[in-house]
Structure 1
Amino acid sequence: MTVTILKPGPLSSVQDAGRPGHGGIGLPAGGACDALALQLGNLLVGNDQGAAGIEISLGGLQLRFDRACSFALTGALADATLDGVPVGCWRRLHAQAGQVLAVGYAVLGARLLLCVAGGIEVPVVMGSRATALQSAIGGWQGRALAAGDVLPLGEARMLPVSEPAIRPPGRGDTLRVLPGPEWPLLERSAQHQLLHAPWRLTPDSNRMGAKLAGPPLTHGLGALPSHAVQPGVVQLPQAGQPILLLADAQVTGGYAKPLVVIQADLWRAAQFRPGESLHFAEVSAKDALAALQAQRDWLARLRRVLKLPQR
């Protein structure tokens, strides 16, 4: 009951919902950058929403199913084939033992999630199966996947042979934000630029953070004492080019924090590719909570439609 990696693509790793609660020893929560795609893929194949899957950065993964099983590709959109036959993303699919899944390079978005019925059952480390790449723990041997890796699968629920599909949520080019602690200290011109200028993702972005390029912001805040940070925080270094922290963000930092991306939009932040531009849009705390509740309600409705137990 395994899958065998034939080609890993630029960066593929085992990820689940992460391991929160270890910031005190410097370990990020981590987990899938697009947590919503992980939840939706797991719903399609009958897993618990936080079960481990394979996060595929930009595409290029090939693997062999060593048993018959159901699977789903969510997150970014890419052409994919099963034994050379095209298959779609965002739907439950079925593979026979020995069949090879080949995922092309993403045509929209940056990260795909491959969820397999039963989940990727690598050992649990500190409460999670997620790969913490910087710390080299969890996942498969604490590292990115490589050709020849054989990953164990968990016990799968019985599922119908049907292939239900989910309409992928639209990413858009806007991330909703709340004011961060240092927002009031910024000059009005810097505030205006942050919220109205397009910010382009640079090639040196990674799972720790999306580095953004745009008009240099003059803020004069200087370095701050080291303090806690988390995914969604927008940091503003001295050079005035923002950094949007993602799933593997460090747990402390000394840059100003003018903005924080709302939780309901963190999945969107993970799906921008180098060279693409995004905008920030300020919303109220009430709107942020409403957006998160709407997302949770949508997931609950999908569970009912797919006839899965409510959790």
Structure 2
Amino acid sequence: MSITILKAGLQTTLQGAPFSAHRHLGMPAAGAADCLSLALANFLVGRPSGAIAFEITLSGALFRFKGPCSIALVGAAEYLRINDQQQPRHQTLTVKAGDMVDIGPNRLGCRTYLAISAALQADSLLDGQSTYLPAGLGGFHGRALRDGDSVPFVPDSPVTALQRTTPESLRPHFSNDYMLRITPGPEAAERNESALDALCLAPYAVGMRANRMGLALEGEPLSASDSSNMPSAPVFPGTIQLPPSGNPYLLGPDAQTTGGYPRIAQVIRADRHLIGQLRAGSRIQFVQITTDRATEIYREKLSLLTSWLGQITMW
């Protein structure tokens, strides 16, 4: 059985859990840019939180199902329609062979996740199946889906009878304004402490250079006197680098594993899923906290989420 992509939109890929324990080989994390929305969608259809699903970016997408299964939609899409009939998001729904699933574009936020109860078939490498676009690895032949593609899946046996609805208190809120909490990066204290302080003074906007690899931020340029190339050092999703231009650069899930610009800050793990919903024009207010407080926030957020989702990991 399979799902035919009638309209792929701007960028629709197969994404799930990130690649882990392979950064020493130069393999980035990749995986779903918004791990919370993915986990919520997968839970509604009875799949593990990191199971492969469709990640739909900005524009809408249209699918035809060639077999029965349950589906759920979580994320920034304005609407979900099955056979032209409006359907709720954040709820388990059933589709039959021949059904058309129409996902609307995003007015606020950037990405939407369509999960299905059956196991989507994706290319595997390094113990993962997510798409890493820069190298053409994983997912559907290592690339974004195109109109006419057919993605196979293993039929449910039997089709899941789950009926779940995400509690209102756990549904992510999408906006053009975000607060991201940060801790100091490795180079902040020794060379760029004033730049870190300035980063938190006024909001920054996401520029037009925005994709899964990272986001160029626009606002008051930071002091970059010490931002000449340094020896390459490890970077991670959520690392904020300070290039010589003074315009901060926020790394996303597909970012490289090392970089040569000072790492002035790191978005805390509990907030990192929000990076996946940033788009050109989004405004960000950075707030500096301690590493101890960052750990507390992560534990508090996991405690809240596991009451509904069970054991999950946020990356």
* TM bucket, shorter chain: over 0.9
Structure 2 residue 157 is the aligned partner of structure 1 residue 154: no
Q: Which amino acid aligns with 1:160?
A: A
Please say if residues 77 and 103 of structure 2, whose CA atoms lie closer than 8 Å, have aligned partners that are also in contact: no
Structure 2 residue 197 is the aligned partner of structure 1 residue 192: yes
Going from structure 1 to structure 2, the CA distance change for 1:199 and 1:88 (only over 3 Å counts) comes to: same
Residue 224 of structure 2 corresponds to which residue in structure 1? Answer: 219
Residue 14 of structure 2 corresponds to which residue in structure 1? Answer: 14
Going from structure 1 to structure 2, the CA distance change for 1:114 and 1:271 (only over 3 Å counts) comes to: same
Q: Which amino acid aligns with 2:151?
A: L
Q: Which amino acid aligns with 1:273?
A: R
Distance 2:266 2:122 in 1: 33
Residue 126 of structure 1 corresponds to which residue in structure 2? Answer: 126
Alpha-carbon displacement from aligned partner over 1:171-210 (angstroms, at most 9, x marks no partner): 5610010010111145665333201121101122100001
SS in 2 for 1:203: strand
Residue 172 of structure 2 corresponds to which residue in structure 1? Answer: 169
SS in 1 for 2:76: strand
Alpha-carbon displacement from aligned partner over 1:112-141 (angstroms, at most 9, x marks no partner): 111111232223222111011011111001
Moved more, 203-212 or 178-187: 178-187
Distance 1:288 1:119 in 2: 35
Structure 1 residue 22, shift from structure 2 partner: 1.8
Structure 2 residue 62 is the aligned partner of structure 1 residue 57: no
Residue 74 of structure 1 corresponds to which residue in structure 2? Answer: 74
Q: Which amino acid aligns with 1:31?
A: G
SS in 1 for 2:101: strand
Runs of at least 4 residues of structure 1 off by over 6 A? none
Distance 1:122 1:190 in 2: 43
Distance 2:75 2:301 in 1: 16
SS in 2 for 1:241: coil
Q: Which runs of 5+ in 2 are unaligned?
A: none
Structure 1 residue 213, shift from structure 2 partner: 0.5
Q: Which amino acid aligns with 1:51?
A: A
Residue 231 of structure 1 corresponds to which residue in structure 2? Answer: 237
Residue 43 of structure 2 corresponds to which residue in structure 1? Answer: 43
Report the TM-score, using the length of structure 1 for normalisation. 0.93
Please say if residues 195 and 264 of structure 2, whose CA atoms lie closer than 8 Å, have aligned partners that are also in contact: no
Going from structure 1 to structure 2, the CA distance change for 1:285 and 1:101 (only over 3 Å counts) comes to: same
Distance 1:97 1:264 in 2: 39
Moved more, 58-67 or 46-55: 58-67
Q: Which runs of 5+ in 1 are unaligned?
A: none
Going from structure 1 to structure 2, the CA distance change for 1:116 and 1:197 (only over 3 Å counts) comes to: same
Please say if residues 117 and 160 of structure 2, whose CA atoms lie closer than 8 Å, have aligned partners that are also in contact: no
Distance 2:233 2:191 in 1: 19
Structure 1 residue 169, shift from structure 2 partner: 2.4
Report the TM-score, using the length of structure 2 for normalisation. 0.92
Structure 1 residue 303, shift from structure 2 partner: 3.4
Q: Which amino acid aligns with 2:137?
A: I
Structure 1 residue 158, shift from structure 2 partner: 5.1
Structure 1 residue 81, shift from structure 2 partner: 1.2
Distance 1:112 1:275 in 2: 18
SS in 2 for 1:17: coil
Structure 1 residue 78, shift from structure 2 partner: 1.9
Please say if residues 91 and 166 of structure 1, whose CA atoms lie closer than 8 Å, have aligned partners that are also in contact: no
SS in 2 for 1:102: strand
Q: What is the RMSD computed on CA atoms of the aligned residues?
A: 1.9
Please say if residues 70 and 159 of structure 2, whose CA atoms lie closer than 8 Å, have aligned partners that are also in contact: no
Residue 206 of structure 2 corresponds to which residue in structure 1? Answer: 201
Residue 266 of structure 1 corresponds to which residue in structure 2? Answer: 272
State, as a whole percentage, how many aligned pairs show the same letter: 34
Distance 1:185 1:161 in 2: 54
Distance 1:266 1:303 in 2: 18
